[in-house]
Amino acid sequence: MKAITLRNLPPDLDKAIRKQARGKRMSVNKAVIGLLEDHLTQAKRKRAELHHDLDDLCGSWTKEAADEFDRVLAIQRAIDRTLWK
């Protein structure tokens, strides 16, 4: 196992970690490891889920529908120069 030393830990963070360790009746070391594991697995899970909500729509448009969408989107993205005077 590798060891990591933390320096300049903000007092509020130190207090929160120690409070959690006491509340769960575990060492500060185990509390920090648990917090890191929780954070990293949540972040990994969020990244994995980030772009999977529309997967069932992928490839479902016809070429004509996609071209029409692009045409309408281009109109919406056009800059009206009169608004920027």
Whether residues 40 and 59 share a domain: the answer is no
Q: What angle do CA 70, 72, 79 make, to 5 degrees?
A: 105
Distances (CA, A) of 81 to 60, 65, 73: 36, 29, 18
The domain of 79 spans 55-84
Q: Look at the chain and report how many structural domains it folds into.
A: 2
Whether residues 17 and 41 share a domain: the answer is yes
Q: What is the pLDDT along the chain (85 residues), one digit of tens a residue?
A: 888 998 999 999 999 999 999 999 999 999 999 999 988 888 777 666 666 677 777 778 889 999 999 999 999 999 888 888 7
Q: Is residue 4 part of a domain?
A: no
Whether residues 22 and 36 share a domain: the answer is yes
Residue 67 Cα to chain centre, angstroms: 32
Residue-averaged pLDDT of the chain: 87
Token duo for residue 36: 């890191």
Whether residues 40 and 64 share a domain: the answer is no
Q: Is residue 2 part of a domain?
A: no
DSSP 29: H
Answer whether 59's CB lies under 8 Å from 50's CB.
no
